[in-house]
Amino acid sequence: MDSKSREGGGAAPTRALRLTFSYSSKGIHLDEIRPLEGMPLPPTDPIQHGPEAGFWYELRDAKNATLYRQVVDNPMRHEAEVYAEGAPIERLTKEDHADSFTLLAPGLEGVTAIALFSSPLDPATFGAAADEIACFSLVDPGKTNLDEQKKR
């Protein structure tokens, strides 16, 4: 891509990672890491922030410092809209909420982990501050940093 095609404000192409996750009532798993070339990505959202509701991911270095943060719509669906003829749309909690999702992240130098943050999904706590729900090594994808934290 040349500079003329970026004049509209798009980001310059860069190396990116396509991270595919699966989730169920048993937890979240990082299933695949695929490098992509020439993929423009948005700039980081503010790294320093107070308590916030929502969903985002952070890319971290070996010292656990956040290098990149991206706020996104929560990709994990635990509810479904049910349509019945002549009745209002109803939102029901899914019994088995197993599915998968993909995140695109920049392939930044020094990144060793991705952490996922989410607010509670329970309607009674809607709007509560998000907590870290999973953290995965991008160097050793089978290893989660939360496994280490539970041992402490």
- Is residue 29 within 8 A of residue 15, CB to CB? The reply is no
Task: Write down the mean pLDDT value for the chain.
Answer: 83
Strand pairing category for 113-118 and 55-60: antiparallel
Q: Is the pLDDT of residue 144 over 70?
A: no
In a domain, 58, yes or no: yes
In a domain, 1, yes or no: no
* Percentage, residues of the chain above pLDDT 70: 84
Instruction: Tell me phi and psi for residue 4, to 5 degrees.
Output: -65, -35
Please state, as a whole number, how many other Cβ atoms lie within 10 Å of the Cβ of residue 87: 8
Mean pLDDT, residues 72-98 taken together: 84
Q: Is the pLDDT of residue 126 over 90?
A: no
Q: How many domains does the chain have?
A: 1
The domain of 72 spans 13-151
In a domain, 141, yes or no: yes
CA separation for the pair 133, 56 (Å, rounded): 10
pLDDT in tens, 16-37: 999 999 999 889 999 999 999 9
CATH at residue 126: 2.60.40
In a domain, 54, yes or no: yes
In a domain, 4, yes or no: no
In a domain, 8, yes or no: no
Q: Is the pLDDT of residue 113 over 50?
A: yes
